[in-house]
Amino acid sequence: MAELQVEIVAADHFVWSGPAKLVKARSVDGEIGVLPGHVPMLSVLAAGDLEIDPVSASRFTVQIDGGFFSVDSDRVVIVADNAVLENAA
Amino acid sequence: MGAQIRVYRQKIASTSSMRKIFKAMELIAASRIGKARSRVSASLPYANAITRAVTAVASQADVEHPLTTEPANVRRAAVLVMTSDRGLAGSYSASVLKQAEHLVELLRGDGKEVKTYLVGRKAQAYFDFRSREYARVWTGNTDSPQFETARELREILLEDFANDYEQGGVDEIHVVYTQFKSLVTQEPTVIRLLPLEVVEGETETPTDELLPLYEFEPSPEEVLDALLPRYIDSRLFNAQLQAAASELAARQRAMKAAGDNAGELIKKYTRLRNNARQAEITQELSEIVAGADALND
């Protein structure tokens, strides 16, 4: 099955990268979920939680306070001003 | 003890305590360079991602944005000068200031007014001493810049950029900082920050892959609105980080040279002291011999 290559970067450090099945984010227009095979997209993120479902680990969330989000050919880049990794179940 | 010897002893003592300071400063700078360099590389993923996105929007959506449009005529330009807070870094701050002077002259030659913004106490001291005006100064933390400072710089600069000429606004913004090339080369560099030149040639995206056709959410304009300030943030922050790494590298080199010179001086004074001591002994001996001779006669 195809999977997403996710990269999360904050302004001054690298946060997380790895393969994932699903990324859920909060854009300024509302929530979006990205599955493999999504159309290339650039969107502005609102402050809030980002949910990531990695292939080989349990789902976790990242708190971000704004940023943007790009998807192209299953590569998801999340650029946050500030990101805090939370290892919630 | 002869006066000569005492003078040399004092010089040796003070030079060796200075050498200790130089050595310590060199070691401190050397240990912090590694961290500064890793901060530069840690900010790269963000810069790359943002550059890529800005390039994508700029190349696909035909959007006119105030930040990217060239003003019809430039009447006032802003120059942001990034120096260090502390000295003892060789020619680091001096060469940035020289570069800035050069730029200011060039801009004045084109008939533009110049408004200066300073970063670092050294720049402030330079301008204060010459009683020149500057719009604003930021001091503190030049050797470990925070992202918040970059954002604050951007906010102030954008505010001025958005203002009209009559209200003290500026039409273009230049940044003078020191580019960190390697541990031995750091180069004072000028970049024009605004209006932005977002061209693929300038950004280092690999040209072999084509940028996909993006969908923009909510709209290209709004995406660009959110992206451009961040792009500026990241460029300013990168400039600050490079300046910090350069400052430390320059300090390390300057302190190494100073330490070496102090060593040379100590060697020289030690020789002179020994010379003086020997001369004194010789003199005392010949006095004794002469005295004994006088008694014998």
Domain that holds residue A33: 4-86
CATH of the domain at A52: 2.60.15.10
Q: Which residues of A touch B42 (CB under 8 A)?
A: 12-14
Q: Tell me the average pLDDT across B58-78.
A: 79
pLDDT at B181 over 60: yes
Contact A25, A67 (CB under 8 A): no
**Tokens standing for residue A23:** 């990324």
Question: Is pTM, for the whole model, over 0.90?
Answer: no
| Cβ of residue A75 closer than 8 Å to a chain B Cβ | no
Contact A37, A74 (CB under 8 A): yes
Residue range A30-82, pLDDT digits in tens = 888 889 988 888 888 888 888 888 888 888 888 888 888 888 888 898 888 88
- Percent of residues, chain B, with pLDDT higher than 90: 56
Question: Which domains, ranges and CATH numbers included, belong to chain B?
Answer: 30-253 (3.40.1380.10)
Structurally, chain A folds into a number of domains equal to 1
Say whether A79 and B212 touch across the interface (CB within 8 A). no
Of B212, B215, B234, the CB nearest to A11: B234
* pLDDT the model gives residue B237: 92
* pLDDT the model gives residue B251: 94
- Percent of residues, chain B, with pLDDT higher than 70: 94
Q: Which residues of A touch B211 (CB under 8 A)?
A: 72
| Cβ of residue A72 closer than 8 Å to a chain B Cβ | yes
- What is the complex's ipTM, to 2 decimals? 0.82
Alpha carbon distance A5, A70 (integer Å): 12
Say whether B230 and A67 touch across the interface (CB within 8 A). yes
* pLDDT the model gives residue B94: 93
pLDDT at B208 over 80: no
pLDDT at B248 over 90: yes
Predicted confidence band of residue B200 (pLDDT cuts 50, 70, 90)? very low
Number of Cβ within a 10 Å radius of residue B256: 17
H or E element: which one contains A85? strand A83-86
Say whether A12 and B216 touch across the interface (CB within 8 A). no
Q: Tell me the average pLDDT across B43-52.
A: 86
* pLDDT the model gives residue B127: 95
